[in-house]
Structure 1
């Protein structure tokens, strides 16, 4: 479950490439630019095109996110206090674990503008920004009906203008009951319509820099809520962002915590997974939980990585909650499978 500062503890316990990107723009070779243009249905540039025309075409091309969708190595993600407005907590985490996170997750409330400074801070550090977009201020039915199209389009235009990749998870944990867009307030059909509508507005604006993430909570707390009715469709989703925490009670292994959810999802899509939010509650079992998470992700080629929720909020989820936990996290982080340069995937 997404454990934002608003989340109650009960909710937590229930729960290739054509380019090498650089901060601020995409960098293509001449042949790569030509191939990408043709892939977009545009005529390829002439070999003798002027340098100024080539530079202009390069500047106009949207950032190509495709190399980031299925990287060879795992994402080493983090959500931490103040980040990425301030990168202090991220740098401290990197120093403690011996490895820089290459994905930074943060939260955006419905009605907030696209926080370009935060996204830029993450990218400049060498991390893909990952936004959990939370529609507290509008019902899913209202979003699907187009009541906030001006706002969505404005957000999308900001993404397009910045022209850097960003992962966005809209209305995460929709299969739970603890959010205003969850099972007590919205139907699966309303969720699907809203998700598709937001995606379609971005597409209309031309904001193709988004990696779209569909993020259900693990099904263990509510096994009777089926996930397939919430599925927007393969053409609307890039990653399946499963959310689940290692609490003191409940499932305590990767197969028991995530397996039932992943098995159910595999019945209707082959899109890759990312553990979009996770942590282990402080206690004697925490070092074992940390090791289990790393090794569970490594064993599955269809799991792209994980995002650790490094907060002390109602429960201490930080890796620093005990010396054994910090030591285990550092040891597991040494794996060569984790971490890569997102600007040059």
Structure 2
């Protein structure tokens, strides 16, 4: 037994030595991962190209540290190329980390001090007020509060209302873009409205009415945004798939049907905005109509503070960040607009929240604007719920100009 044991030990040692020698030889032959950055310096907000080699072959990887996480796939030789955007708020050395499995490399972009953000368009400010798009006095009051006229005016129309051409004219006369929320229901009549089921919309029951909108908007001719059947991932509107007898797939079919009729009417001036809610219970990926049917991705999200038993204070980065990441996965490359937002007063510092809102959204290069819901409804969402709140938003908007 002793002889066998020693022999086994010697055999094991020999195998270990051979394995160690083989590993050393393999390691010496393994390529060293490397990443190049073009350009390597410039202003915040610069779009950069990354090229890498020596990474695991045919594997998924990520670039983090920029304005958003970027994904890529390496080639059979372990190379990759990707593009990333340096955050608009970056200063000094902006690190970008490239990871493929357990292999990670960090490279740096030098942010040139004092340089304006590269190609960063002005974050647009919009508003919704109780009186709607034609409420000039309300819109003027908002402009006085924040020091600029809203560039987007949000309004709401249900399926009984005709195309709001006069209101569109009113908005355009102010130098703003209309954003019409088009709701397939009788507003205020509850969630259970079988007459407005998604299946009926897709089956053509409302075709004459929908076509009327398409023809009228085409004749009007100027750019506008239509947000059809928003917050579809919740359970509080008849067009949500979780209620009103709707079935999986009905929402996409209804959206595509409405889009097709309006487009057939010649309304190429419509920018179609698909806008889920940040608090919905249904995966919005299951409700996305497809890139060919959506121009802009929207998001509704509010800081409820401690106004509800279920809510807590959320700063903009935590309120929007996870949802923006999901939307970028669902509809990569689409511009994003925050179609409804506001903050409560209870539970935190609303002036600080307003300042952080503009700063955070400015740092997201694909977010083109936000719309403030200037109502007293579940709580006082208004910009001027306190003088300090209004002053903070005005200062934040002024700082971005």
Q: Sort the TM-score into its range (normalised by shorter chain).
A: 0.7 to 0.9
Structure ranking higher in strand proportion: 2
Tell me if structure 2 keeps the 8 A contact 1:83–1:90.
no
Q: Distance in 2 between matches of 1:127 and 1:205?
A: 24
Change (3 A) 1:187 1:72: farther
Q: TM-score, normalised by structure 2?
A: 0.64
Is 1:320 equivalent to 2:379 in the alignment? no
Is 1:279 equivalent to 2:279 in the alignment? no
Q: Distance in 2 between matches of 1:160 and 1:272?
A: 23
RCO higher in 1 or 2 (8 Å CA, sep ≥ 6)?
Answer: 1
Per-residue CA deviations over 1:242-300 (Å, capped at 9, x if unaligned) read 00001113351223212222222222322111000001112342112212211111000
**Pairing 1:6-17 to 2, within 5 Å after superposition:** none
Change (3 A) 1:167 1:71: farther
* Secondary structure in structure 2 of the residue aligned to 1:153: helix
Q: TM-score, normalised by structure 1?
A: 0.74
- Partner residue of 1:150? 208
Per-residue CA deviations over 1:205-260 (Å, capped at 9, x if unaligned) read 111110100010014x53xx211110101111111110000111335122321222
Tell me if structure 1 keeps the 8 A contact 2:132–2:156.
no
Is 1:206 equivalent to 2:257 in the alignment? no
* Higher-Rg member (1/2): 2
> Which region of structure 1 is more displaced relative to structure 2, 309-318 or 116-125?
309-318
Structure ranking higher in helix proportion: 1
The structure 1 segments of at least 4 consecutive aligned residues displaced by more than 3 Å after TM superposition are: none
Q: How many equivalent pairs are there?
A: 265
Is 1:241 equivalent to 2:298 in the alignment? yes
Q: Distance in 2 between matches of 1:303 and 1:250?
A: 25
Change (3 A) 1:71 1:184: farther
* Secondary structure in structure 1 of the residue aligned to 2:365: coil
Is 1:126 equivalent to 2:184 in the alignment? no
- Partner residue of 2:125? 76
Change (3 A) 1:314 1:227: closer
Is 1:227 equivalent to 2:284 in the alignment? yes
- Partner residue of 2:319? 257
Q: Distance in 2 between matches of 1:123 and 1:189?
A: 36
Q: Give the RMSD, CA atoms, in angstroms.
A: 1.7
* Secondary structure in structure 2 of the residue aligned to 1:316: coil
Gaps of 5+ in 2: 1-118, 187-195, 306-310
> Which region of structure 1 is more displaced relative to structure 2, 96-105 or 253-262?
253-262
Q: Distance in 2 between matches of 1:108 and 1:277?
A: 16
| CA drift at 1:71 | 8.8
- Partner residue of 1:330? 394
